[in-house]
Amino acid sequence: MNKDQVKGRVEETKGKVKEVTGKLLDDETMEIEGKVQKNVGKARAGFGDLKDDIKKDK
């Protein structure tokens, strides 16, 4: 795993935790922030996956 994959998955997890916490506390802003953070993490992890695939093809 490269650093983008790791950091992306960490951000994705943190976002999911924030999203669930927002739901539990009935805090819509926190829930939305969590969803955004989760999706940013997914994108970064996907970018890391792509980089890893390109390296393997060389």
DSSP state string for 14-54: HHHHHHHHHHHTT-HHHHHHHHHHHHHHHHHHHHHHHHHHH
Which pLDDT band, with edges at 50, 70 and 90, does 15 fall under? very high
The mean pLDDT value for 19-44 works out to: 98
pTM, entire model = 0.87
| Residue 54, pLDDT score | 92
Which pLDDT band, with edges at 50, 70 and 90, does 1 fall under? confident
Of the chain, the percentage scoring pLDDT greater than 90 comes to 91
